Chains A and B, each alone.
Chain A
Amino acid sequence: MDHFERLGQPRQHALDRDGLETEYLARAARAHPDKVDQDDASAKRAAMETSAAINEAYRTLRNPATRAEYLVKLGGRDLDSSDPSVGAPKMPQAFLIEMIEHRERVADARSAGADALDELREDVDGQQGDALAEAVLAIADGDIETASRQLVVRRYLQRLLDEIDDEG
């Protein structure tokens, strides 16, 4: 059973956030280990398995980025796998150079002051959003290769944002 089925959702990127949460809470409440006979070890364990699966499904689907990555994974590209045939696609040299330049801009902005850093953060965040939007469009078209490349770009940019926030 995939995460979408587990939470009674259509297998697509566009989900009703409120409806997703309502479904999740109802299912999580029903499956919770507190709801079974505390002396029945196998029922308790089964409830724990189901609860864990529901919680994991919700954690993945509630965030638009991880939801997109999950759809790409269902399509055959697992960004967390190191296996080149099914894992993250190899990124072109130009992109990697661009990321190195980004990192230098962060260092420059940091020494230039808080305003410069804020401005850069906004810029990177915008690019990150664009990459996700591109990926979502590609998923809708069934173009898993393009989607996975865009999602790798998004991950790089996200890491950059985390770095800005961490030390900022």
Chain B
Amino acid sequence: MSDDFDPGALFQIEEPSAPAASKRAPGRGIGIDLGTTHSLVALAPHGEMPREVKDADGNDILPSVVSYVAEEVVVGAQARAAQVANPTRVISSVKRFMGRGRDEVGAHPYPMSAPTDEADQVVRFDMGAQRAVTPMEVSAEILRVLKTRAEAELGEAIDGAVITVPAYFDDAQRQATKDAGRIAGLRVYRLLAEPTAAALAYGLDQTEGGKQGLFAIYDLGGGTFDISILRLREGVFQVLATGGDSALGGDDFDHALAAHLLEAASVSTPTAGQREEALAVARSAKERLSEAEAVSVDVPRCGLSGFDVTREAFEALIDPIVRRTVKACRQTLKDADVSPDDLHGVVLVGGSTRVPKVRAVVEKTFKRPPLCDLDPDRVVAYGAAIQADILSGSAREGVTLLDVVPLSLGIETMGGIVEQLIPRNATIPIGARQVFTNYSEQQTGIVFHVVQGERELATDCRSLAKFELRGIPQLPPSMARIEVSFQLDADALLTVTAKELMTGIKQSIEVKPTYGLDEAAVDALVMESLDNAEADFEARNLAEGRVETGRVSLAVRTALEEVGHLEDLLPAAERELIVAALLATDEAMANASGTPGELKKAREHLESVSEAFARRRMERALLSGMEGKSLGEIESTLAAEEALEERRGSHTPQQT
């Protein structure tokens, strides 16, 4: 049950050293949808409509696939193309591993490096060449690509990011996502629940006169399923309840169909390559079946060709999976105390909602056709971009988002029973306290086990962390009073603190996340990425310096050729200086081991000696009454005229 809330007592633990404060940066926030099968980044600077950011080839969707085949890590379509040939070195669907322990991840094709000790639950993929990478690091590779892409689009460094997570993600999964962001060198403004992001993108806050509304968001992604009931009132978007399954998604459709194909090919023990191929074929068949009634498929490695799959057969295969989503929808409606008739709209999110069967089931469950005008693959990133714009300090009109914690949080007590401190669907931020006591005078320490879940026994819940409070004064049994405080922030991330009340002395607490990296390990990875970032920055600087210097040099050279011979524009002494500076610039450009600083110096010298020449050209152009044209246009026109005049050998006005 709830304790009386006394905020004064809750926050006595010192803030961990905050990063150096920088001013807010309006318009420099980005929204990232870090998905199971694909990811993307969107921008909505200064109140603009959100837009996805494309790479140099014009693709915005980045397959969430990371290849460790070669020394250089490759992300995206290229990595996916390498997957069938290298199933153990190319990691896909890494989101399923986020915040998960070794015992929990199920079957997968990746070799893992040995645990450091018995208690070590952190997943580390063994990618050869001494590379052991955690799911956080794999995700960071994806985030890094998106960050770079956004920076290229913005033309400046980004300030921070909103990263979306399934609403149903537990604390460990959220923490892992935030750590991935930090490892990628991103300041994570906020972890935003995917359904809430979708609601923002749809502008549901603008509908119904922007006053009232009740909405369901059905989000079936590649590997996760979320259902959320949102209510809008008084400019506040409130999540009433959320539910789902963080290990259920469109990938399961692929697996069901792939298993069907392998069975049809009589392959009972497929090799990793055969399985990857069957999956790839299944994925493509699933997508085509959204339009077609039947498709014909080939799985060469399994000796299957011209095999027909009908939509009906596919729907029968996925029926049990779709049914599980309906069950979660009913439970969440009940949690929110809402009946389908009360709703004003149902929104579809996630690529898997393109499957006609899914749409039909949603329509039946919620008794209305779902909204699907926005691309279900992009809507989440759009919403994240809007919230990132708000949090970057833009003067954007926005609603307040009140989110909930998806799963109850508690502490294991005597006998393995969970004492619940924060119930599921409580609005965040929220805090709670509970007082524990000692059971013997000899006891000087107490171990706390923090768990998340709805079950009564700690072993049936997810283990989040264990920590030990040491240095408890030796007091008779039940006399020591140890107060444990839970604090959930607006990202639904948990901070646990403990102190002994009798002495009032602040005690040392060591928190060991069960499935994640501790603070020091994340910091080390952040530093590593910063080191790399510096090298990356240097390389980019040099490349940009070359381009800029080349541009200046070419402009001066062209001007010299066109009008450099006119004595009134360029005195001979000045001309000599400029030619010398041009030669020095060429030298600096040719020097392969040159630094960005040297290039810059040469460029600045050239600019300074040619400045007067440029100014005179500009004045002459203005005097010619040719405003509105670029200097280049003016000069080429003037040069042409002068050449003409010279040929005529006269200075008389041109005749018509």
Contact = CB atoms under 8 A, between A and B. Distances in A.
A72 interface: no
B492 to A, nearest CB: 12
A60 interface: yes
A78 B238 CA distance: 31
B401 A34 contact: yes
A55 B23 contact: no
A55 B427 contact: yes
Contacts of A37: 24, 393
B5 A32 contact: no
A38 B402 contact: no
A39 interface: yes
B429 A40 contact: no
B391 A25 contact: no
B230 to A, nearest CB: 13
Contacts of B160: 38
A108 to B, nearest CB: 24
Interface string B407-451: 000000000000000000011111110000000000000000000
B22 interface: yes
Secondary structure at chain A's binding surface: helix, strand, loop or mixed?
Answer: helix
Interface of B: 1-5, 7, 10-11, 15, 18, 21-24, 160, 189-190, 233-236, 238, 390-391, 393, 400-402, 426-432, 487-490
Contacts of B4: 73, 78
Contacts of A167: none
Interface residues of A, number: 36
Contacts of A33: 429, 489-490
6 contacts: A29-B400, A33-B490, A39-B21, A49-B11, A49-B431, A52-B487
Contacts of B10: 49, 52
Contact of B11 (A3, A45, A57, A60): A45
A35 interface: yes
Most buried by A among B2, B190, B233: B2
Most buried by A among B393, B427, B429, B432: B429
A66 B190 CA distance: 32
A21 B1 contact: no
B490 A41 contact: no
A10 B77 CA distance: 61
A56 interface: yes
A28 B487 CA distance: 17
B427 A25 contact: no
A79 B1 contact: yes
Contacts of A50: 7
B490 A28 contact: no
B234 A22 contact: yes
Contact of B391 (A34, A40, A52, A56): A34
A98 interface: no
Interface in A87-131: none
B310 to A, nearest CB: 40
Given A55-B429, A59-B427, A66-B2, 14 more contacts: A22-B233, A28-B236, A28-B400, A34-B401, A35-B400, A45-B11, A49-B11, A52-B429, A52-B430, A53-B7, A55-B427, A55-B430, A60-B2, A78-B4
A80 interface: yes
Contacts of B3: 80
A28 B402 CA distance: 8
A34 B390 contact: yes
A77 B77 CA distance: 64
Given A45-B11, A48-B489, A60-B2, A38 B391 contact: yes
Interface in A1-40: 3, 21-22, 25-26, 28-29, 32-35, 37-40
A59 B21 contact: no
Most buried by A among B5, B10, B233, B401: B5
A66 B391 CA distance: 35
5 tightest A-B contacts by CB?
Answer: A29-B400, A49-B7, A25-B234, A56-B5, A41-B18
Nearest to A50: B7
Contact of B21 (A40, A45, A52): A40
Nearest to B7: A49
Nearest to B491: A33
A116 B111 CA distance: 56
A29 B431 CA distance: 18
A29 B236 contact: yes
Contacts of A38: 24, 160, 189, 391, 393
B430 A25 contact: no
Contacts of A66: 2
A32 B401 CA distance: 8
B490 A48 contact: yes
A148 to B, nearest CB: 14
Nearest to B392: A38
A51 interface: yes
A6 to B, nearest CB: 9
Most buried by B among A21, A57, A69: A21
Nearest to B391: A38
B45 to A, nearest CB: 16
A59 B238 CA distance: 14
A88 to B, nearest CB: 11
Given A34-B490, A39-B24, A56 B401 contact: no
A107 to B, nearest CB: 20
Contacts of B234: 22, 25-26, 29
